[in-house]
Structure 1
């Protein structure tokens, strides 16, 4: 039985945070209609422009709250939240490409609601997964690389018994647990640090659940973790 546990070291920094989790079992993530997801992402890109009302990119609220969050823990120089990375591409007029249905769906939700979303293959987890402060010796091979790049001591990471899964909270993902066309069981999450956006967070989580259920089938479960509810079973 694998669990997802958010440790007290995280809550000491972000006591008001909420992590929404969608666990998916028995889904079909094979690519059947790329055009469907391309249109989905394109529509979300247009909606995401509402988060970029200030001409100075860093002044926009969605960007600012996550930059402030990243200042509370040790980060790699230049590391930014996943939602900032997506919005920066939109701001520059670049489109988000399709990858596979699960990734396309969570990118759509991330853009539409202006919240960081991510996902991992549950079957690739070794033991439990936790959101915690890194020791600094965790193995981590990022997407697109083949060399170990361990997190800093004091960095917020998702990790399991084998190593880090995502560095700097939601900045960079490990190749080991990434979602692929062959993924059957998946862990998806949405992260909230701005309490004023609780309704957006809840609506994003519900829509993520529905899109996965309607398009990929399987058994889908939704959970919200906070300081009073720190762990769930994921398999």
Structure 2
């Protein structure tokens, strides 16, 4: 499945520094937020005020402006998340990736693989893609994640559709860790390892696989 995921060349033309670490986890065991994940969420707030985190979030605001979005109205996911401290309690798996997102100022998406149709693709929208009413139709040129059915996430990482959302019933998941400079590739890989560690703590039997895409490769 990972080998079929694509990032369109137009994305790298827009932001040559873009890279994405893709991670699948099969055999997850999810459930409501518990004391363990609640402690993870509480500890994540310590990283938010660091100066390097601010620079990474500003890079995403610039990326949004580059395709015509207004980041003050539709914020990059990590920007919105850091404004919601203390972090919301969703479920154990979502709590885990939200913690890593805030810790590294790194947009992370979580998708239920069993609700996907075909591989994930990051593209510039034509403007006629099928989307959910709550998200609206993407604008031409907008950066979107999509599958064979339609939009899975609008405005790069602004908001995900309900169809592929991770729930307490999710067993197989795709995680999308999206990097722009000044985040280094080393930090991106470290964030992926940290997320894998948390997922393995939740489900020791989970099978985790990763793939790094950058520079159109």
* TM-score (norm: length of structure 2): 0.91
1:171 to 149, 158, 165: 158
1:226 to 207, 214, 217: 214
- Superposed displacement of residue 162, structure 1: 0.8
- Superposed displacement of residue 51, structure 1: 4.4
1:66 to 60, 73, 81: 60
In the alignment, does 2:117 pair up with 1:132? no
In the alignment, does 2:185 pair up with 1:198? yes
CA, structure 1 residues 108+219, in 2 after alignment: closer, same or farther (shift >3 Å)?
Answer: same
In the alignment, does 2:72 pair up with 1:83? no
SS of residue in 2 equivalent to 1:186: strand
User: C-alpha distance in 1, partners of 2:190/2:13?
Assistant: 27
- Superposed displacement of residue 44, structure 1: 0.7
User: C-alpha distance in 1, partners of 2:28/2:135?
Assistant: 31
Please list the CA deviations of residues 123-146 of structure 1 after superposition, one character each: whole Å capped at 9, or x if unmatched. Answer: 1111221001111111222xxxx5
* TM-score (norm: length of structure 1): 0.84
- Superposed displacement of residue 199, structure 1: 2.6
- 8 Å Cα contact 1:34-1:98 kept in structure 2: no
2:88 to 65, 84, 97: 97
Identify the range of structure 1 (75-84 vs 130-139) with the bigger mean alpha-carbon deviation: 75-84
Unaligned runs of 5+ in 2: none
2:108 to 100, 117, 120: 117
- Superposed displacement of residue 155, structure 1: 0.4
In the other structure, the counterpart of 2:49 is 49
Q: How many residues are aligned here?
A: 214
In the other structure, the counterpart of 1:56 is none
- Superposed displacement of residue 147, structure 1: 4.5
User: C-alpha distance in 1, partners of 2:195/2:114?
Assistant: 21
- Superposed displacement of residue 169, structure 1: 0.3
- Superposed displacement of residue 87, structure 1: 1.7
- Superposed displacement of residue 197, structure 1: 2.7
User: C-alpha distance in 1, partners of 2:163/2:138?
Assistant: 15
Unaligned runs of 5+ in 1: 54-59, 230-235
Identify the range of structure 1 (109-118 vs 214-223) with the bigger mean alpha-carbon deviation: 214-223
In the other structure, the counterpart of 1:233 is none
CA RMSD for the aligned pairs?
2.0
SS of residue in 2 equivalent to 1:71: helix
- Superposed displacement of residue 76, structure 1: 6.1
- Superposed displacement of residue 228, structure 1: 4.8
